[in-house]
Amino acid sequence: MRIIRLKNVIDATGLARSTVYKYVGEGSFPKPIPLGDRCVGWLESEVQDWILARVEERDLA
């Protein structure tokens, strides 16, 4: 299990910072994990699962 920071999330998904937080707010993207007072991260496996779900949606369309 690995926690990744926002830069890695952006690199992996191609989403902008604002879009990541918009999707988190909508409940359509994994919630970040608090790491400190002003620091959050995401579980890499949850981000990868989100990416795979987008590929599955594409393939079903």
pLDDT digits (tens, 9 = 90+) for 27-40: 999 999 999 999 99
Residue 29 near residue 50 (C-beta atoms within 8 A)? yes
Phi, psi of 5 (to 5 degrees): -90, 170
pLDDT one-digit tens code per residue, 10-61? 999 999 999 999 999 999 999 999 999 999 999 999 999 999 999 999 999 8
Which range of residues forms the domain containing residue 37? Answer: 3-60
- Predicted model pTM: 0.92
Tokens of 59: 């393939």
Q: How many domains does the chain have?
A: 1
d(CA 58, CA 44): 21
